[in-house]
Structure 1
Amino acid sequence: MTARRPRIAVDLLYFTGKRGGTETYARALLPRLAALRPDVELVGLTNTTADPAIREWFPGTTRPLRVDGLNRPLWAAAEVLLVQRAARRAGADLVWCPANFGPRSTGVPTVVTVHDVIADDFPNPEVSRITQAITSWLIRRAARSARLVVTGSDDAAASITRVLGVPASTIRVAPHGTKGLASAHATGDELAQLGIDDARPLVLSTGNRMPHKNFVTLLRALAAIPADRRPQLAVTGSHGADPLAPVVAELGLDQDVHLLGWVTAPQLDALFESAAVYVCPSLAEGFGLPVVDAMAHGCAVLASGIGALREVGGDAARYYGDPLDHEALARELLDMLDHPQERAEQVRRGRARAAQFTWDRSAELTAQALDEALAGAA
């Protein structure tokens, strides 16, 4: 009799197509995991909102649960009440949760990817305390009961132990990847469509508008640069009315800042390839994927001096120390813009650094963690 293939249920209840980095992570890893472990069967546990889109790329079968992925309270309840039950019905040997949240392991063992614990360190003032408490409880509950926790950096691993109380012995580090070294293909037309003047130096920053992204410090730094030497700044990554717009107006930067919202992948490529400097002023990060993407595109990087960004950027990025020091950020940014030869050398080092971070390597390390958890479940 032929032995049944190991079966992993992948918790994709969170997937909506609009959640940025965690969805990029899942879409990059899952096809590679399937190729690396063809003897493992993958079953996606999805929501009814996103299931049709997920089926187009997921390397296995999907089982939609009767949950609206855009309804956060319903989705949170489903993590607690439905995922383990669905995994048992699917005959899963293991549940992998790739986006922080997951069920408490009660029957089917779990592996949880915890990208960061930023919500605990930097609560979002726009989110109610009750919602924040539930979110923290869900992550803590899933991580503590998991057979293994996967994360993207040593700095994130230390934070997970400090904040969530997860033993370091159960954490596996699998650095994220980038889509690869890019060749320039940005055109003036693409930039013009975004309102970018290609005759003026461009600085780029990306990310959601959560407090830890620290975009207000970046805007203050831009305002501190004399108007005749000030570059233009493009900031992507928001949905709807941008909360940075009032700050831009208050600082008198309406002619200098482009709040672009959610851009397409080709548009983002064009911005990376056209920018003189990519700035990451974050107060906290679990990894810092845009830093790697910027280096891969040949864009010089200026980042705050936090642990995860230094771990990722190494000697290929430039740092300005205290993330809240807008004057230091302004000085470093202006110095980079004023010295193109030094910036070119940084770009060279950045391309070499980015080549060390691949989704293939991330997938292999993640596959090893899943293998380990499956072996322990046997």
Structure 2
Amino acid sequence: MPARRILVDLLGFTGSRGGTETYVRELLPRIDALLPDVRFAALTGRAGTERVGAFFPGRVQTLGAVGTDPATWALGAVAATDAIARRHRADLVWAPANFGPVLRGVPRVVTVHDAIYDEVPGSLAQRVQRGVTSWLMRRSARTADRVLTVSHAAAESIGRHLGVPSGRIAVVHNGSTDPRPVADPAREVASLAIPAGRPVVLSVGNRMPHKNFPGLLAAVAALPREQRPVTVIAGSRLPDPLEADVARLGLEADVVLPGWVSDAQLEALFQIADLYVCPSLVEGFGLPVVDALRRGIPVLAHDVPVLREVGGVAARYADATDATAFGAAIGAALVSPPDADAREAARAWASRFTWDGAAAATAAELERVLSAGRRR
């Protein structure tokens, strides 16, 4: 039997899109090993060629018209992906970053990580841009043969907002990253100028509205000055958009905004953190929560279903939309940390989320659509 072909739409891969890119980096090499009779090819834009080539288990084709901006990515996905798949006789297109082609064509699986653009629309300008993206996601999901998503909470949201029947949605939880502790964490983060001698609260993520970092800053400001931890919020270009909030709240001595950090620096930050805080209003999965728990770090998260799904009883929860209440919860978590048994239980809980397990379940879903396509 000739090898089957899967074209993976990585037009939006730039190396700076966070969780969706971690998803493909972790899954694709594992899925390649699980589907030995499948030949993978990737379609990417100019910014992704080298980055995709570093991990992708197959040929990488660059679509030169696609840059780092979402508009050219969307245009490429809508206008080019299916045509290129047909030209190369692909048996399946997999779009792992929320959307791909919007018309029926080559059999397609799309991974929709969340429906955040519908849940948290943002400002007027953001709503205009997000409205286009939401439409593309809706059309791509509705015309796909199978929709994958990363949590039951996300599946419910996708059904409600994108109109995809539950029978066409498969939930495959993300995995978590193995801890890779550094020998000297203080030295690794020395350049970040984190004040010594105070508890450290860590939070990580981009600056999209649903991450609710202004809410976290307001919660820190609600604490008495002498009780405030040093709060490190990584994951942004510099200058950080949060700088204005820090200045307005008078938190210059209490908050560190290091921008993007290296993998080694992130591990070091996990090692020195006394508490990981996730103030997000909504998530598809909440990968940093699981990563923190897997490292035995106490977690405080906004009390929403998806974060309870991934954090279970291992995390604490409070209302991150109430600055006073969330600030009090941060203070309480710092003065009453979990004991050794509770930390070990948290590690055990988080260790259930593995990339090997995610790859096996995803490979099974791809195989399902491939097999159905051959029977047509």
TM-score normalised per structure 2? 0.96
Q: 1:223-242 CA distances to partner (integer Å, 9 max, x unpaired)?
A: 11111121100001111322
Shift of 1:183: 4.2
The answer to whether the 8 Å contact 2:283/2:306 transfers is yes
The answer to whether the 8 Å contact 1:191/1:197 transfers is no
What is the match of residue 37 of structure 1? 35
One of 194, 213, 216 as aligned partner of 1:215: 213
The answer to whether the 8 Å contact 2:185/2:271 transfers is no
What is the match of residue 306 of structure 2? 308
Q: 1:190-244 CA distances to partner (integer Å, 9 max, x unpaired)?
A: 2321111342210001111111111111111111111112110000111132221
1:102-141 to structure 2, matched below 5 A, reads 102-125=100-123, 127-141=125-139
The answer to whether the 8 Å contact 2:186/2:268 transfers is no
Matched, 1:371 2:374: no
CA 1:298–1:183: 2 relative to 1, 3 Å: farther
Matched, 1:14 2:12: yes
Distance 2:58 2:178 in 1: 25
The answer to whether the 8 Å contact 1:118/1:285 transfers is yes
One of 358, 361, 376 as aligned partner of 1:362: 358
Shift of 1:124: 3.2
In the alignment of these two chains, the number of paired residues is 374
Shift of 1:129: 4.1
Shift of 1:317: 0.5
Partner SS for 1:100? coil
Shift of 1:294: 0.7
Distance 2:132 2:59 in 1: 30
The amino acid of 1:168's aligned partner reads S
Partner SS for 2:258? strand
Deviating runs (4+, > 6 A) in structure 1? none
What is the match of residue 224 of structure 2? 226
Matched, 1:352 2:342: no
What is the match of residue 158 of structure 1? 156
Shift of 1:185: 3.6
Distance 2:325 2:341 in 1: 22
The amino acid of 1:197's aligned partner reads P
What is the match of residue 331 of structure 2? 334
The amino acid of 2:350's aligned partner reads A
Shift of 1:249: 0.8
The answer to whether the 8 Å contact 2:181/2:267 transfers is no
The amino acid of 2:24's aligned partner reads A
One of 299, 316, 321 as aligned partner of 2:297: 299
What is the match of residue 325 of structure 1? 322
CA 1:49–1:126: 2 relative to 1, 3 Å: farther
> RMSD of the alignment, in Å?
1.5
The answer to whether the 8 Å contact 1:293/1:354 transfers is yes
Distance 1:102 1:278 in 2: 34
Q: 1:291-311 CA distances to partner (integer Å, 9 max, x unpaired)?
A: 011112221100011011000
Q: 1:29-79 CA distances to partner (integer Å, 9 max, x unpaired)?
A: 000000111111101011133213322221011122222331322221111
Q: 1:77-114 CA distances to partner (integer Å, 9 max, x unpaired)?
A: 11111000011111100000000010024320110000
The amino acid of 1:369's aligned partner reads E
Q: Which runs of 5+ in 2 are unaligned?
A: none
Distance 1:119 1:325 in 2: 22
Shift of 1:370: 0.4
Partner SS for 1:303? strand
What's the % identity of the aligned pairs? Answer: 49
TM-score normalised per structure 1? 0.95
Distance 1:24 1:204 in 2: 20
Q: Which runs of 5+ in 1 are unaligned?
A: none
What is the match of residue 269 of structure 1? 267
Distance 1:357 1:278 in 2: 18
Matched, 1:26 2:24: yes
The amino acid of 2:155's aligned partner reads A
Shift of 1:246: 1.1
Partner SS for 1:246? helix
Partner SS for 2:21? helix
The amino acid of 1:360's aligned partner reads D
Distance 2:342 2:305 in 1: 20
